[in-house]
Amino acid sequence: MKQTKTLAVLAALPFAFAASQAMAAPSCGANTGQAASGDPIIVGGIHGNAAPGDFSAATDAAAAYFACVNANGGINGRPIDYRVENDQWNPELAAQAAAKLVNDTKSVALVGNGSFIEMAVNAGTYKDADIMVMASACAISECFETPNIVSTNQGPLPSNLGAVMYAREELGATNVACIGLNIPNNGIWSCEASINYMKSHGGDGSMALLNPGAPDVNSALLEAVSSGADTILINQPAGLALAILKAAEEQDLRDAFNWIAPTPLYDLSVPDAVGEYWHGHIYVNAELAPFQVNGPDAQNWIAVMDAHARPEDPRDTFAQAGYLSAKFFTETLMEMDPADVDDRAKVSDAIRAIKGKTSDLMCGPYYVGDADFHMPNHAGYMVKIVEGGYEIVRECYEYEAAYFDPHHAIEKEMGLK
């Protein structure tokens, strides 16, 4: 999610400083320093930016990376023409965006997509057109359970599982109440997986659902509280999560439960917004490397953003995911026969052939493979909200749940594990 302009700039400052110490210029693509001037290669991207949320961070970061690639020799001298559409959380606009990018223009792939509905509407279109989507800010089941979409971020299901697993192992959780959105392919889908996980480990779980537009969040919280749980999983976008935490603070429920949350609460404006009361008491699963890890890719990401993104573009997890998708995509194109990069089918094949790409931003290897489902990213960090930021409480760990059995099987087949 985007941050306010001031906050984003402030947050970027320390990283910019670290980056400027580490390296002067970003490294992208062929790294020639020469602007690409050939025939452009068209690549699309779709984000959702309207009430109730802004999912454009990933496409912003992907755009910055592509701009950097174009300034550094492009793809064998050819620039990438990155075209981004906004679905505005409207299924009709989502279909229109895909019609424009996939059917009207010959985009070779879509990169950096981030939305709550676009994937549900367009999964069929992508399959029919045999175009691959390397998404970055995915939140619904279609992102992970359809053949033509692969996402760099984890989405709510693995991130929830990661948080629940940590709570069970480290905080002694035996009964988890998952407060989710009343949306089948988001809240219910991801809460169910956490409950199943708890049950398979001798624990128990329940879910309390709330309508995204309903004003009253207190009822869902009270429902979770009265369910007999010892741990509350706030499986919500940051705005709603804050409302729930505030209601919990009012009831002084902090010490009666363990409080855990998936990645949406990993956002630099959250520690301030939750307030002092919660510092040290909320455990959040981070699906990409937290900012303090600051490896080479993290630094390069900041350098790319500083050089090619607008200052107000957010530097958050989704931006990292957008950067990674764009980077993996560029590498894939550059490894292809230059004659084939305009051929959508061949680009799709090349994307499906991606395996074993690594980055310090991600715990596991990134791969695509030829399957009906894709979820390369299912390992992460656990962090705790402290004053002014986050403290890492568990380094990279694999989430262990039956849900990932098919994924593990594929990884074994591809020789990744």
Partner 1 sequence: MVENRLLNWLLYVALMAGTLGWLGSGKPFKIVGLFLTSGLAVGSLYALGGIGMVVLFRATGVLNFSSGAAGAAGAMVAWQLGQWGLWAPLTWVACILVALLITLAYGRYIAPRLAWRETVVKAVATLGFALIILGLVSFLWIDDPRSLTLPTDKIGVKFLGLRVTATRLIVLGAAIGIVIGIHLFLSRTKVGLQMRSLANDRDLSALIGIPILRVETIAWGIAGVIAGFTGLMFADLIRLEPTVITFMVIPSIAAAICGRLENLAIVLIGGLSMGVVESMLTLSSTLKGARPIAPFVIAALVLLWYQRGARLTFGGRD
Partner 2 sequence: MRLWHITPSGWAGLIFAALAFFLFPALAGNLWLSVFISTGCFTIAVAGVSFMYARLGMVSLTQVGLMGLGGWVMLRLNHAYGLPFEVNLILAALVTMVCGWIMALPAMRMRGLYLALVTLMAAGGLEILFATYQFPNGGDGFWGVKTGSAAPFTRPALATTPEAYLRYVVVIALLCFLLIEAHRRMKPGRAWAMIRRSEAAAMAAGVNVTFYKTWAFGIAGLLAGVAGGLLAGSLGLLDDATFRASESVLIFALAVVGGARYWYGALIAATLYRILPALLNNWGVDADLSFVIFGAGLLHAVITAPDGIAGQIAGALKARKAAKGRAS
Residues that bind partner 2 (CB under 8 A): 49-50, 85-86, 88-93, 95-96, 99-100, 103-104, 117, 120-121, 123-124, 141-142, 145-146, 182-185, 188-189, 192, 211-214
CB of 318 to partner 1, least distance (A): 12
Is 217 one of the binding residues for partner 1 (CB under 8 A)? yes
Q: Which of 240, 304, 306, 281 is nearest to 1 (CA)?
A: 240
Nearest to partner 1 of 93, 410 (CB atom)? 93
Residue 128 binds which one of partner 1, partner 2, none, with CB within 5 to 8 A depending on kind?
A: none
CB of 52 to partner 1, least distance (A): 6
Is 386 one of the binding residues for partner 1 (CB under 8 A)? no
> Is the separation of the CB atoms in 47 and 113 below 8 Å?
yes
Is 111 one of the binding residues for partner 1 (CB under 8 A)? no
Number of residues counted as binding partner 1 (CB under 8 A): 44
Map tokens 């452009």 to a residue: 40
**Interacting residues with partner 1 between 27 and 86 (CB under 8 A):** 49-54
Is 388 one of the binding residues for partner 1 (CB under 8 A)? no
Is 213 one of the binding residues for partner 1 (CB under 8 A)? yes
Nearest to partner 1 of 200, 219 (CB atom)? 219
CB of 313 to partner 1, least distance (A): 10
Is 389 one of the binding residues for partner 1 (CB under 8 A)? no
Is 10 one of the binding residues for partner 1 (CB under 8 A)? no
Nearest to partner 1 of 149, 244 (CB atom)? 244
Longest dimension (CA), the chain: 64
Per-position x/- string for 269-288, each x denoting binding to partner 1 as judged by CB under 8 A, each - no binding: xx--xxx-------------
- If one counts every other C-beta atom within 10 angstroms of the C-beta of residue 241, the result is 24
**Interacting residues with partner 1 between 162 and 191 (CB under 8 A):** 182
- If one counts every other C-beta atom within 10 angstroms of the C-beta of residue 37, the result is 12
Is 220 one of the binding residues for partner 1 (CB under 8 A)? yes
Nearest to partner 1 of 98, 268 (CB atom)? 268
CB of 37 to partner 1, least distance (A): 35
Q: Which stretch binds partner 1 (CB under 8 A): 105-113, 245-253, 348-356, 398-406?
A: 245-253
CB of 226 to partner 1, least distance (A): 5
Nearest to partner 2 of 83, 384 (CB atom)? 83
Is 410 one of the binding residues for partner 1 (CB under 8 A)? no
- Contacts with partner 1, residue ranges (CB under 8 A): 1-4, 6-7, 49-54, 182, 209, 211, 213-220, 222-223, 225-226, 238-243, 246, 249-252, 267, 269-270, 273-275
